[in-house]
Amino acid sequence: MLPIDAAAHSSRWRRRHPCEKAVLGLGLTVTAVCLPPWPGAVLVAAASLAVLLGPAGVAPRQLWRAFRIPLGFCVTGALPLLFAVGGAAGPVALAPDGPEHAAALLLRTSAASLGVLLFAFTTPVSDVLPRLVRAGVPPAVVDVALVMYRISFLLLDAMSRVRQAQAARLGHTSRAAAWRSLAGLGATAFVRAFDRAGRLQAGLAGRGYDGTLRVLVPRASVSRPFLAAVAALLAGIVLLTHLLERFVL
C-alpha cells in the first residue's frame, strides 16, 4: 500500500462522508485557481496546510513526501515562463514580465495541489468508488476501477520483490546489468498482471459473479455543521482576498 493510501485509511476524518471532504478539498482547489495568486493562492495554501496539519492530523513528513512530487511539476511548468523565444533580444532571452507570471503560476498550482492532497490524505479510494454508482456512474466502470485499484497494490508488491531479488543477484552493479534487470522487471510485471487477472476472473466466476461487485461501504452521514464550516472558510478566504487587494495592495 502506498503511504498516502495508508495515511488516508488511518486518518482522523476516515469516518466522515467523502462528500464533505470533497467539498472542502475541491473547494480549496477551485478557489486557488479562481482567485488572484496574491494574496488569494497564498491564503488558500495557508488554510490547506492548517487543515492538513491540524484537524486532519497529517504528519508533516508524510505531507512533504507527497507534496514534493506535484511541487516539482509546478516548478517545471513555471520555469518556461521566465524566458521569451525570438524577438529583438535574441533567440532566447529573459521575458520582461516572466518572473511575475512564473510566480503567479507557481502560487496557483502549488495551492491547488494542496487542496487535492487534502482530499487524498483523508479519503481512501475504496470509500469513494462504490459511492459513484449513486452519482450516476455506470456500475461496470466502477467495478473495473475497483479491480484495478486492488490489483495495482499486488503488482507493486510483486515488482518490489523482483527488484530485491535482482539486487541480491548483483543485477544493478553496472549500467548494462541495470538495463537488463529493468527489462526483466517489465517482462515479469507484464506476465504477472495477466496471471493475476486470470486468477481474479476464475475466483469471481467461482463465487457466482453476476456483473456487479458488492462491497461493504462504511456508513456515514453528511454533517451539515461541517459543510457550513467549509462554506464559511471558503467565503472568508474570498472576502479576505478582496479586502487585502483593496486596502493593502
The burial of 204, by beta-carbon neighbours within 10 Å (0-12 exposed, 13-18 middle, 19 or more buried), is given as middle
Q: How far is residue 233 from each of residues 23, 99, 114, 183, measured CA to CA in Å?
A: 11, 30, 15, 50
Task: Tell me the CA distances in angstroms from 149 to 9, 51, 122, 124, one per residue in order.
Answer: 15, 27, 17, 11
| Residue range 146-179, pLDDT digits in tens | 778 777 777 888 888 888 888 888 778 888 888 8
Residue 44 binned pLDDT confidence (cut-offs 50, 70, 90)? very high
**pLDDT at res. 236:** 92
Rounded to the nearest integer, the mean pLDDT of the chain is: 84
Average confidence (pLDDT) over 93-109: 86
- Residue extents of the structural domains in the chain: 3-123+219-247, 135-206
pLDDT, tens digit (0-9, with 9 covering 90-100), for 114-128: 999 999 898 888 788
Which CA distances in Å does 31 have to 157, 186, 243?
A: 38, 41, 16
